[in-house]
Amino acid sequence: MEEKQARQIAQQTLAAIGGKENITSAFHCVTRLRFILKDDSKVDLDKIKNIPGTLGFQKSGDQYQVIIGPDVGTVFEQMHIDNEPSRNEENAETIPAPKKKRTLKTVGSNILDALVGSITPALPAIICAGMIKMFLMLLGPSLIGVLSDKSGTYQVLNFVGDAGFYFLPVFLGYTSAKKFKANPILGMLMGSVLIAPAFVESVMQGAALNVYGLPITPVNYSSTVIPIILIVWMMSYVEKFFDKYIPSSFKMVFVPVLTVLVTVPLALVVLGPLGSILGNYISAFLLWTHQVFGPFGIGLIAAVFALLIVTGMHHAINMAVLVTLTANGYDEVVFVAVAPVVIAIAAAALAFALKAKQPANRSLGFSSFALQLIGGVAEPTLYGVMIPYVKPFVAQAIGAFCGALYMGFMQVKAYALTGSNIFILAGFIHEDSANLTNAIIGCGIAFVVTFALVWVLGFNEKEQEIFE
C-alpha cells in the first residue's frame, strides 16, 4: 500500500470515530485497527463501513475494529496517535474488558474465546509438524517407498514432526500466557514441567510422586492441550496476586519463584490430572450406554468423541479398545465409533475450505482436510475450524452419529488398531467381506452428512487473528 493511500485511510478512519480526542486506546493486530473510544455517539458507522481501501468493520464489546489487511501497520503509522504509549500487543493487554453480566452464554463464550485465543497462534507449528508427518508417510516404505525409514533424512524429519506435537504443552504455555495476560516465559516453564524427561520417566515407571506431601496422579502430558491451558489460566491469577503485594524492588526474583512454587502443586495434583480422571468416568459411562442402548450408544460415543479429543479425555476410552481387542480379538464399540469420527472431521474441513470466501480460511480448510484424511492429524481442523466456528463442530457430531449408528446396526467389528486417517478402514478387513463394506458405507454416511450440514448451515466467517 502506498503511503498516500495509507494516509487517506488513516485520516478518514479518525474522522469517522470522532477524532484522536475521542480515543481512549488504540492498537493494531495483524490485519485490524482496534480502538476503545470515549464517546460512542461520535462514531459514524456509515463512514467507517465505506472507507475506500478497508476490508470491513466489526464491533466486539466496546472495541471498534477496522479491517485493513497486511498493511495495517502502515495505516496505523499515519494516524500519529500520541495518547497511546505503544501500539503493540503489550498495550493491548492493558485495555480493560467491559464488564458484563455473567450468564451461561457469556461463560461459554469466554471459555471458547480462551481456547481459540490460546490455540490459534500455535496452529502454524501444528500444521507444519502434521504436514511433515504426512509427507513422510506418503514417501515412506508403507506407501510410495521413495524414502527408507532407515535413512537419515527420514529419521530427522520424523523427529521434527514428532516434536511439533510432543512439545505442544510448551507452545501453548506461551500462547495461553499471552491470552491470560501472564508471563509467557513462566507459561513455557509450566509446559516444560509437564513433559520434563524425569517426570515422564517416573510416569512410565508408575512411580509414586508427591509435592508438598500431596500425591501426584501419573499422567503423560505430551501432545495434550487442555491441561496446560487450565494451568496457565490459574497461574495468571497467582502471578497477579504476588505482583500486587510484593514490593517493586523484589518483584523480579520473588514473583516468578513464588508463582511457580504455588502453581506446580495445583498443576500436577489438581488441574493436570483432571482430564484423565474425568476421562475414566466418561469412558465407563459411554461403554454403559452401549450396553443399554446398543447401536445408539455407539452413535453417542461417535457424536461426543471429537469433544473428548479436544479435552484429552479420549485416551481413557482408547484404552478400553486395547483391553477388548486383547480379550476378544475384535472391538465392536469404540473403534467402530471412532472410524466415522475421523472421516467426519475430514469432511468438515473440506466443506469449510470450499465454502470459505477468505483465502486464509480456504488454505486452512484444505490443509486441515489433507492432514486429517492422509496424515491423521485432527488438531488443525478441531482448533482452526470446528471450535472457532461451532457449526462445523455440530455438523461433524451429527454426521459421525449417523455413520456410527449404521455401523452399529450392521454389527461391524474392528479387528486391528490402525491409523487415525483414511487407513483406519484397514482395521475392518476380515474374511467376512461385508464387515469392511459396511464400515466403508458407514464412514461414507458420516462424510456426506457432515459435508452437507456444513454446506447448508454455513458459518459466520471471520479472520483468525494472531497478535504480534
For the chain, percent of residues with pLDDT exceeding 70: 88
For residues 356 and 354, give the distance between their C-alpha atoms in angstroms, rounded to a whole number. Answer: 6
Higher pLDDT, 299 or 419: 299
Q: How far apart are the C-alpha atoms of 67 and 233, rounded to whole Å?
A: 29
Domain containing 268 equals: 113-275
**Amino acid making up residue 276:** S
Residue 105 lies in a domain: no
Alpha carbon separation from 246 to 33, 239, 254, 255 (Å, rounded)? 36, 11, 8, 7
Mean pLDDT across the stretch 385-411? Answer: 94
Contact 415, 339 (CB under 8 A): no
What residue has cell string 493491548?
92
Domain-embedded: residue 348? yes
Residues whose CB falls within 8 Å of the CB of residue 143, separated by 6 or more in sequence, listed in order:
137
Q: Are residue 245 and residue 209 in the same domain, yes or no?
A: yes
Residue 233 or 319, more confident: 233
Give the residue-averaged pLDDT of 46-66: 82
Question: What are the Cα distances from residue 45, in Å, to 7, 78, 149, 429?
Answer: 20, 21, 60, 61
Statement to judge: residues 222 and 371 lie in one domain? no
Do 88 and 119 belong together in one domain?
no
Sheet holding 23-28, edge to edge: 23-28, 32-37, 63-67, 56-60
The reply to whether 98 falls in a domain is: no
Task: Tell me, yes or no, whether 175 and 320 share the same domain.
Answer: no
- Tell me how far CA of residue 177 lies from CA of 87, 112, 174, in angstroms: 19, 16, 5
The mean pLDDT of the chain is 85
Rounded Cα gap, residues 300 and 291, in angstroms: 12
278 band by pLDDT with thresholds 50, 70 and 90 = confident
Residue 121 lies in a domain: yes
pLDDT at residue 343 is higher than 70? yes
If pLDDT is split at 50, 70 and 90, which confidence band does 219 have?
confident
Query: Could you tell me the pLDDT band of residue 323, with boundaries at 50, 70 and 90?
Result: low
What is the torsional sign of CA 331, 337, 340, 342?
A: negative
List, in order, residues 6 or more apart from 173 with CB less than 8 Å away: 184, 187, 188, 189, 190, 191, 192, 228, 231, 232
* 3 state SS of 399: helix
Looking at the DSSP assignment, which residues form a beta bridge with residue 428?
none
Domain count within the chain = 3
Residues 9/53, Cβ–Cβ less than 8 Å: yes
Question: Are residues 228 and 321 located together in one domain of the fold?
Answer: no
pLDDT band at 119 (very low <50, low <70, confident <90, very high): confident
Please indicate, yes or no, if residue 251 is contained in any of the structural domains.
yes
Band of pLDDT at residue 195, cut at 50, 70 and 90: very high
Q: Are 446 and 343 in contact (CB under 8 A)?
A: yes
| 444 and 312 inside one domain | yes
Give the DSSP H or E segment for 449.
helix 433-457
Q: Is residue 281 part of a domain?
A: no
Mark whether 228 and 144 lie in a shared domain. Answer: yes
- Among 61, 92, 123, the domain-final residue is 92
Domain containing residue 80: CATH number: 3.30.1360.60
Which residues does residue 33 pair with via DSSP β-bridges, in sequence order? 28, 66
Residues 70 and 205 in one domain: no
Do residue 371 and residue 341 come from a single domain?
Answer: yes
Whether residue 407 sits in one domain with residue 436: yes
* pTM: predicted TM-score of the whole model, two decimal places: 0.67
Angstrom distance (rounded) from CA 94 to CA 308: 34
What's the pLDDT band for 438 if we cut at 50, 70, 90? Answer: very high
In contact, 153 and 131? CB cutoff 8 Å: no
Among 241, 275, 309, the domain boundary falls at 275
First-last CA distance in the chain = 20
Within a domain: 40: yes
Answer for the pair 334, 317: CB distance below 8 angstroms, yes or no.
yes
Lowest mean pLDDT segment, chosen from 89-103, 183-197, 365-379: 89-103
> In the predicted model, what is the mean pLDDT of residues 212-237?
90
Last residue of a domain, one of 45, 61, 92: 92
Q: Is residue 289 part of a domain?
A: no
Domain co-membership, 271 together with 310:
no
Element holding 334 (H helix, E strand):
helix 334-355
SS3 181: coil
Tell me: do 87 and 131 sit in the same domain: no
Q: What three-state secondary structure class fits 125?
A: helix
